[in-house]
Amino acid sequence: MPSSSLEGKRVVIIGGTAGIGLAAAQAAAAAGAKVWAAGRSKEHIENARAQANGSFEVRQADTHDADSLKAIFDEVGTIDHLVSAAVGGERTLKPFLEQTDEQFRAAYDKLWGYTKVVRTGAPYLAADGSITLVSGSPARKIRPAQSPLSCVGASVENLVRCLAVEMAPIRVNVVSPGTVDTAMFDAMGDAKAGNLAAMTATHLIPRAGTSEEVADGILFVLQNRFVTGTTVDVDGGRILS
Ligand SMILES: NC(=O)c1ccc[n+]([C@@H]2O[C@H](COP(=O)([O-])OP(=O)(O)OC[C@H]3O[C@@H](n4cnc5c(N)ncnc54)[C@H](OP(=O)(O)O)[C@@H]3O)[C@@H](O)[C@H]2O)c1
């Protein structure tokens, strides 16, 4: 049987208090999993708690703080599925030669956060457990002014392939979103809807995706026991457009 039910499974989602991670927490809980979702800010935690309405647990953790991660993992005990959907790094959108070394390096905080989640969480994983990370379409869709996103995303995807080989039979996968309407773009303010429409106008599916659509991809890799070392694109065809 390639697929397994999430009923009663213990799922931890770091970066699960907003956007894609929160949608994955909601979907996993609706599928019967016992879910812990975590993030840093009080604002996102309170909002996630309100949305969970008791259907999953919400905790405070930072991908860069092993103690905060360990506190959750100790509470969970054995983890069936460990997900990190945290942003965790800076997004400097400038041509490479206009960036400082510090800006470029700061993008890699996403990767360092993910490595900490994996290192800290690995001892808690069930023998048939899984790890799922989140990259992004710039990893393989090269556009000007996106070199930090592209390089970090590609690193996350390659790390996943390395981990899948080293940690088998634990399954390790990555989901790669295209442009998705989440809080990540809230800094655009009133221009957000127009900007997202412009950014996606040439995509094969010419609109921004939803967090729920990407969460579907995450649930697929959690449940399909024959999938490992794989990148699942949920991007409206962005890398082909
Ligand atoms: N939205 C897109 O178009 C898009 C495209 C490509 C890739 N992605 C990737 O998809 C993933 C999810 O993005 P999203 O759009 O859902 O973002 P989002 O709506 O901003 O949600 C990000 C979540 O991660 C948490 N988070 C951020 N940094 C964290 C850290 N250091 N430790 C723990 N939690 C942290 C946030 O809460 P706090 O801030 O309160 O900690 C929040 O819960 C990210 O890896 C992002 O790079 C998104």
DSSP secondary structure of 202-213: TSSS-S-B-HHH
pLDDT of 86 higher than 70: yes
Token pair belonging to 48: 């996630």
How far away, in angstroms, is 1 Cα from ligand 1 center?
33
What average pLDDT does this structure show over 86-90?
Answer: 91
Does residue 174 have its Cβ closer than 6 Å to ligand 1?
Answer: no
pLDDT for 128 equals 96
pLDDT of 107 higher than 80: yes
- Mean of pLDDT over the chain: 96
Q: pLDDT confidence of 120, banded at 50, 70, 90?
A: very high
Residue in 127, 4, 10, 25 with CA at minimum distance from that of residue 79: 10
The 10s digit of each residue's pLDDT in 57-85 is 999 999 999 999 999 999 999 999 999 99
**Whole-prediction pTM value?**
0.98
Ligand 1 atom showing the smallest separation from residue 86 Cα: 24
pLDDT for 91 equals 87
Which of these CATH numbers, 3.40.1030.10, 3.40.50.300, 1.10.3720.10, 3.40.50.720, describes 10-182+210-234? Answer: 3.40.50.720
Does residue 184 have its Cβ closer than 6 Å to ligand 1?
Answer: yes
pLDDT for 176 equals 98
Torsions phi, psi for 147 (to 5 deg)? -60, -40
**DSSP 8-state secondary structure symbol assigned to residue 224:** B
pLDDT for 88 equals 87
Does residue 64 have its Cβ closer than 6 Å to ligand 1?
Answer: yes
Longest dimension (CA), the chain: 52
Assess contact for 89 and 107: CB atoms under 8 A: yes
The 10s digit of each residue's pLDDT in 7-60 is 999 999 999 999 999 999 999 999 999 999 999 999 999 999 999 999 999 999
Does residue 63 have its Cβ closer than 6 Å to ligand 1?
Answer: yes
Assess contact for 204 and 178: CB atoms under 8 A: no
Q: pLDDT confidence of 98, banded at 50, 70, 90?
A: very high
Domain boundaries, the chain: 10-182+210-234
Q: Which of 70, 87, 203 to mutate to test the pocket of ligand 1 (most atoms within 8 A of CB)?
A: 87
Ligand 1: which residue has its CA nearest to atom 37? 39
The 10s digit of each residue's pLDDT in 212-239 is 999 999 999 999 999 999 999 999 999 9
Does residue 183 have its Cβ closer than 6 Å to ligand 1?
Answer: yes
Ligand 1: which residue has its CA nearest to atom 25? 15
pLDDT for 130 equals 98
The 10s digit of each residue's pLDDT in 162-214 is 999 999 999 999 999 999 999 999 999 999 999 999 999 999 999 999 999 99
Distance CA 175, CA 22 (A): 15
pLDDT of 2 higher than 90: no
